[in-house]
Amino acid sequence: MAYLTGLTKGGATWTPTFVEAIDEEKCIGCGRCFKSCARKVLGPLDLEDEESESIRMVMTIVAGDNCIGCAGCGVGCPKKCFSFKPMEV
Ligand code: SF4
Ligand code: SF4
């Protein structure tokens, strides 16, 4: 199986890993990932909990096609919500 690769500024090969999913059960809505993504891939969503009649914010993927596979959003996530995947070619 082959994956899409790119080059660093220094000419080294690297394999981008694109955002695949965010675990909304684990997400605490801190917004760190939102601030770290320069590609505007992520966006907040208000989730309604019918049982407790409360609303909590979670992060979602709103423009996945804009992702460049840097995985930067996952680095600062305190709850390890992100999963990433390289692109098969
Ligand atoms: S991998 Fe990079 S471009 Fe993609 S959502 Fe995360 S921070 Fe944004
Ligand atoms: S950094 Fe993690 S916990 Fe914080 S909003 Fe993003 S996905 Fe949720």
59 found inside a domain:
yes
52 found inside a domain:
yes
φ and ψ at 76, to 5 degrees?
-95, 5
pLDDT digits (tens, 9 = 90+) for 48-70: 988 889 999 999 999 999 999 99
68 found inside a domain:
yes
8 found inside a domain:
no
Please give the average per-residue pLDDT across 67-85, as a whole number.
Answer: 98
User: Which one, of 46, 41, 47, 48, lies nearest residue 82 by Cα?
Assistant: 41
Atom of ligand 1 nearest to the CA of 71: 1
pLDDT digits (tens, 9 = 90+) for 1-42: 899 999 999 999 999 999 999 999 999 999 999 999 999 999
The number of domains in the chain is 1
14 found inside a domain:
no
Top-confidence residue, 43 or 49? 43
For residues 27 and 17, the answer to whether their CB atoms sit within 8 Å is no
Mutate to test the pocket of ligand 2, among 25, 32, 56, 84 (most ligand atoms within 8 A of CB): 32
Give the integer Cα–Cα distance in Å for 53 and 16. 40
18 found inside a domain:
no
Give the integer Cα–Cα distance in Å for 60 and 13. 30
Distance, CA 36 to ligand 2 centroid (Å)? 11
1 found inside a domain:
no
For residues 45 and 23, the answer to whether their CB atoms sit within 8 Å is no
Atom of ligand 2 nearest to the CA of 26: 3
89 found inside a domain:
no
Owning domain of residue 32: 23-81
